[in-house]
Amino acid sequence: MKIIFNRIISIFRRGINHDRLISIRANGRDTFLYSEGDHRLTIYAELLMGNIERRIYTASIRNWAKPFKQENITEVKRKEILLSICEYFNNRNITFDIIDDGPNN
């Protein structure tokens, strides 16, 4: 899993602004609240039993919460958000996988 995570990081880090202020916190059993400035997003990361503890569904990274719901999240921004949640899990030694079920699939 560490190898896969490192590949994801190396792909996504190109051209990403890491100076943005973000926070991620658990918001229920299967959801996490991602905040970037005044924008908020609920990310679905299913709790699993076994070697993989979380499964991140990229389809949940689609639109900001109200009052910014009309703002679409670009593909670049989706990758930034995904990278942030991967780093969040990795820093807490939470094993995970990613189901890329986003709008382009």
pLDDT in tens, 24-42: 999 999 999 999 999 999 9
Could you tell me whether strands 39-47 and 54-57 are parallel, antiparallel, or unpaired per DSSP bridges? antiparallel
Q: Count of alpha carbons within 13 Å of 7, Cβ hemisphere only?
A: 6
- Predicted TM-score (pTM) of this structure: 0.76
- Mean pLDDT confidence for 66-81: 93
- Any idea which residue has 């905040």 for tokens? 35
- Mean pLDDT confidence for 3-26: 60
Q: How far apart are CA 83 and CA 14, in angstroms?
A: 11
